[in-house]
Amino acid sequence: MAAVERGTDEWQKLDVAHHLHPFTDPKYFDTKGPLVVTHADGVYITDSSGRKILDGMAGLWCVNVGYGRQELIDAAHAQMQKLAYYNVFFQSATPPQIELSRVLSEITPGDLNHFFFTNSGSEANDTIIRMVRHFWEVEGQPDKQIFIGRNLGYHGSTLAATSLGGMAAMHGMGKSLLPGFEHIMHPHWYAEGGDLSEAEFGLKAAQALEDKILELGPENVAAFVGEPIQGAGGVIDPPATYWPEIQRICRKYDVLLVADEVICGFGRLGHWFGCEAYGIQPDLMPMAKGLSSGYLPIAAVAYSGRVHKTLQEGGLFSHGYTYSGHPVSCAVALANIQLIKDENLIQTVHDDTAPYFRKTLTDAVADHPLVGEVRGAGLLAGIQLVKDKATKTLFEEDLAVAVKCRDHCLNNGLIMRAVGQSMVASPPLTITRAQIDELVEKAVKSLDQTAADVGVM
Ligand code: PMP
């Protein structure tokens, strides 16, 4: 049965009547209906009024191969005809799940050759929390239970993933910060660096981890978790000195290192995984989003030979989801990875589109009166909005400056996301140079309009 076609007004009224949107103030829709997206192709989405919009966010940082890819559609169709569902509990397996584990083991770095499948990044992080605590119990160190994350870290929205993350508003809602989770400073040189050089600040931010481990007692600390580049926190890319020092500290105190690759994985930074861009080797790696380019929900935890060996000794692994390793999602992920390889997307991002994007964006906006900093790496960008460039003064919060800019972007036919007082972009990896020009042109126009709104010239 084809979906019912309705007009924009009708869609919006029905939506407001019956649906609560994630990370949205429901009151927002008292004045404004949602953007109803009906079609998409390549890097463009189309809304219910027929307007074509450049998706500078690849959905939610996930549509890495772009929209409408026939290879992925065919893979889902063929797998549904063969075997639409079977589970991987107890003693069962399916060919797509077996193949996907094998293919992932070829692209993940080092000895991250073992996988557990989930449906979302949040579930992957919940899995890691349970897996790592179990790991330490089996290793005979049952007190190693505490996870250390970072301020403004985002690891998902389940109760445990919320606790792992460092988002104050999420902790505040419904008393969602569980015991056993600690947070250290985020490595944002522009905001926190003071008089330190970038390299010095990277070491200082990493030192916060050692200080926290010593405060808690290394015998109580299970793992440190961080995104190679903090995405939902505003695209915060750390100084080059940061991650190697974090890794050194983790090894020194035998604290497991978890690189949350949910955004950075599958080519976003011009490498298969973000940790490769920073020269570190994590013990565990949650991945999602780009694993299937968002075509179907699937996520995974990759874990090392050491973790694997211990889990083998640990008896029943009492954890899993009905749709863990869903065969259709696995088939789509396999087709997606094959497409990334066939189209040489990671090399293209690394050698061509990411450097072009960074240069074009920086040249166009760095001197803008509203812009304090252009940050990020690969096809991931953050633009810090400031009231005063010289003093790095931010706007009053209730001015919602970034939301204003986001709304201008949308009116100009561009999706960018507002995070605090930053604008962020994360376009599909298939974006061309001409489309990057279009993205930057629309972003500049939107920044100009926002500057006029808030009286910064
Ligand atoms: N980790 C990171 C780094 C993320 O960015 C996200 C989602 N944006 C998640 C975990 C949670 O993933 P999901 O929304 O699929 O649960």
**Phi-psi bin for 423: left (phi > 0), alpha (psi -120 to 50), beta?**
beta
Give the count of domains, the chain: 2
Helices (H), 148-302: 159-164, 168-172, 189-192, 198-216, 242-252, 274-277
Beta bridge partners of 302: 115, 285
Q: Answer yes or no: is the C-beta of 263 below 6 A from any ligand 1 atom.
A: yes
Burial 341-364 (b: 16+ CB within 10 A, else e): eebebbebbbeebbebbbebbbeb
Query: pLDDT tens digit string along 114-172?
Result: 999 999 999 999 999 999 999 999 999 999 999 999 999 999 999 999 999 999 999 99
Task: Give the per-residue pLDDT at 30.
Answer: 76
- 123 shares its domain with 167: yes
Measured in angstroms, how far is the CA atom of residue 456 from the centroid of ligand 1?
34
Ligand 1 atom closest to 231 (CA): 5
What CATH code is carried by the domain that includes residue 111?
A: 3.40.640.10
Measured in angstroms, how far is the CA atom of residue 73 from the centroid of ligand 1?
24
Query: pLDDT tens digit string along 355-400?
Result: 999 999 999 999 999 999 999 999 999 999 999 999 999 999 999 9
- 354 shares its domain with 274: no
- 335 shares its domain with 416: no
Task: Give the per-residue pLDDT at 28.
Answer: 81
- The ipTM assigned to this model is 0.99
Q: Answer yes or no: is the C-beta of 122 below 6 A from any ligand 1 atom.
A: yes
pTM equals: 0.98
- 101 shares its domain with 247: yes
Mutation probe of ligand 1 site: the residue of 122, 162, 275, 323 with most atoms within 8 A of C-beta: 122
Residue 26 lies in a domain: no
Residue 15 lies in a domain: no
- 143 shares its domain with 54: no
Residue that terminates a domain, selected from 308, 342, 376: 342
Quick one: which of 441, 443, 437 has its CA closest to 371? 443
- 242 shares its domain with 270: yes
Q: 279: which 2 tokens?
A: 């020269």
Domain assignment of residue 139, given as a range: 71-342
- 389 shares its domain with 428: yes
Mutation probe of ligand 1 site: the residue of 262, 268, 284, 292 with most atoms within 8 A of C-beta: 262
Residue 327 lies in a domain: yes
Mutation probe of ligand 1 site: the residue of 147, 155, 235 with most atoms within 8 A of C-beta: 155
- 320 shares its domain with 379: no
- 441 shares its domain with 324: no
Residue that terminates a domain, selected from 342, 375, 407: 342
Q: Which residues of the chain have pLDDT under 70?
A: 1-3
What CATH code is carried by the domain that includes residue 355?
A: 3.90.1150.10
